[in-house]
Amino acid sequence: MNQQKHTVFSLPVIVAALGYFVDIYDLLLFSIIRIPSLKSLGLNDDQIAHDGLFIINIQMIGLLVGGILWGVLGDKKGRLKVLFASIILYSLGNIANGFVQTVDQYALVRFITGIGLAGELGAGITLVAELLPKDKRGLGTSLVAGLGLTGAVVAFFMKEQFDWRTCYFIGGGLGFMLLLLRVGVLESTMFKTIQNTDVSKGNFLMLFTGGRFKKYLKAILIGLPTWFVIGILITFSKEFGTKMNIQGTIDPGKSVMFAYVAISIGDVFAGLVSQWLRSRKKALYLFYAFTALSMVLYFNLQGASVNMLYLASALLGFGTGFWAIFVTMAAEQFGTNIRATVATTVPNMVRGSLPLVALLFTSLQGRFDYITSGWITGIIVMVIAVIAAYFTEETFGKDLNYLEQEIVSPA
């Protein structure tokens, strides 16, 4: 098989990693420059907290919409075409972000950019998973995530050097540079095999029939802790730190940077652990446990130094370094004809669930204080994820060269 000729450090893997690097730079940029960008638009601290949550929720809804769009197109038209189209959209969106003047404009452009950003990871992971030998898939996808997640670190250092509008322009420029690298990458052999057949490809509704929905739902739920940690605990670390009387000036952009350095290390480590244990699920349980312990530390930082907050952010990041494992597990559970649909929609369903998690968090604040609402939300999210993982099949070493459905019946 052609896919056996590719190694973990082959061109498709490296280019997928660089693509995810640009994706993460653009995805996390708002979290990093939320405060300076909204301050420059004339908002006060309360408005920055309220409108900042609104904008990030709108961005995540865009990711949810884009996840379905690009996932279906990835199975119908090919993994590479989706990568090209999504890169163009989010690059143009980032350039447009550099010109916004109001919160509503900001939210609209982040929504459009979110749609574009939704296509990168799923299509890249699907391509890598289908090109690499089955015993090397976990290492390849972990390398993609590990290198890609350092995009958040670069976004932080860009924020330290440039005006926030320039940071968005840089993101757009990086996207267009990425297009040039894509030229030499080949399409998945598995996809090409079914490309011109009558097999139903990219049928999103298939996920709701034949017992597939439960499997799909569990694939989403096991990733919930990742965006609770990033979207709530890390992005709003300044607000949490203020409530906990953290000593020192809190820079949420620095919290994101420390978290993503650790996530990138965690993702590579998760791939190695999965390979060593010959199990995706066992590796997942270990990282769940680390995440839970890190949450306990985070919520007990009362009166601690700002450096302790950054340390807790890094530990939380490392704990949620199972991102590549969870997306790989989703891709491995479904046939070639809807694999891109699954691998692209699942991570974006998790990202798109952030508004629901945020709603739970804010609703709890009607009865509890800010910190208590945070840890109750965390417990609920972790319990849901662990239960979903328990009932999910082990996929390590699974052969992916199969179809989810036979030939479509004639109309």
Predicted confidence (pLDDT) per residue in 286-303, tens digit: 999 999 999 999 999 999
Residues 60, 110: contact at Cβ < 8 Å?
no
Q: What is the pLDDT of residue 187?
A: 52
Residues 58, 125: contact at Cβ < 8 Å?
no
Average pLDDT value for the chain: 86
Q: Confidence class of residue 4 from pLDDT cuts 50, 70 and 90?
A: very low
Structural domains counted in the chain? 1
Residue-wise pLDDT tens digits, 52-64: 989 988 998 898 8
Residue 198 lies in a domain: no
Residues 371, 301: contact at Cβ < 8 Å?
no
Closest CA to 321 of 220, 225, 216, 217: 225
Residue 193 lies in a domain: no
Q: What is the pLDDT of residue 405?
A: 63
Q: What is the mean pLDDT of residues 14-35?
A: 87
Task: Determine phi and psi for 346, rounding to 5 degrees.
Answer: -60, -55
Q: Give the global pTM.
A: 0.78
Residue 197 lies in a domain: no
Q: What is the pLDDT of residue 109?
A: 96
At residue 250, the 3 state secondary structure works out as coil
Residues 34, 48: contact at Cβ < 8 Å?
yes
Query: Is 80 exceeded by the pLDDT of residue 6?
Result: no
Q: Confidence class of residue 71 from pLDDT cuts 50, 70 and 90?
A: confident
Of 368 and 31, the structure prediction assigns the larger pLDDT to 368
- The sign one gets for the Cα dihedral 326, 283, 314, 13 is negative
Of 143 and 366, the structure prediction assigns the larger pLDDT to 366
Q: Confidence class of residue 407 from pLDDT cuts 50, 70 and 90?
A: very low
Axis-axis angle for helices 370-390, 280-298 (nearest 10): 170
- Please list the residues that pair with 174 across neighbouring strands: none
Nearest-angstrom CA–CA distance, 78 and 109: 27
Which residue segment(s) compose the domain that 144 sits in? 2-182+206-390
Nearest-angstrom CA–CA distance, 234 and 240: 9
Residue 386: both structure tokens together: 């662990």
Q: Confidence class of residue 70 from pLDDT cuts 50, 70 and 90?
A: confident
Nearest-angstrom CA–CA distance, 192 and 143: 25
CA-derived radius of gyration, the chain: 20
N-term to C-term CA, the chain: 34
Nearest-angstrom CA–CA distance, 345 and 364: 28
Q: What is the pLDDT of residue 124?
A: 76
Residue 395 lies in a domain: no
Asked which of 35-39, 64-68, 125-129, 256-260 is least confident by mean pLDDT, the reply is 125-129
Residue-wise pLDDT tens digits, 153-203: 899 899 999 999 999 999 999 988 888 776 655 555 555 566 566 666 667
Q: What is the mean pLDDT of residues 390-407?
A: 76
Residue-wise pLDDT tens digits, 351-373: 888 889 999 999 999 999 999 99
CATH of the domain at 223: 1.20.1250.20
Of 374 and 201, the structure prediction assigns the larger pLDDT to 374
Residue 408 lies in a domain: no
Residue 121 lies in a domain: yes
Q: What is the pLDDT of residue 410?
A: 43
Nearest-angstrom CA–CA distance, 243 and 114: 30
Residue-wise pLDDT tens digits, 208-260: 887 889 999 999 999 999 989 998 999 899 999 999 999 999 998 899 889 98
Residue 403 lies in a domain: no
Residues 381, 123: contact at Cβ < 8 Å?
no
Residue 342 lies in a domain: yes
Q: What is the mean pLDDT of residues 295-323?
A: 95
At residue 349, the 3 state secondary structure works out as helix
Tell me how crowded residue 248 is: count the other CB atoms within 10 A of its CB.
Answer: 13
Nearest-angstrom CA–CA distance, 96 and 264: 29
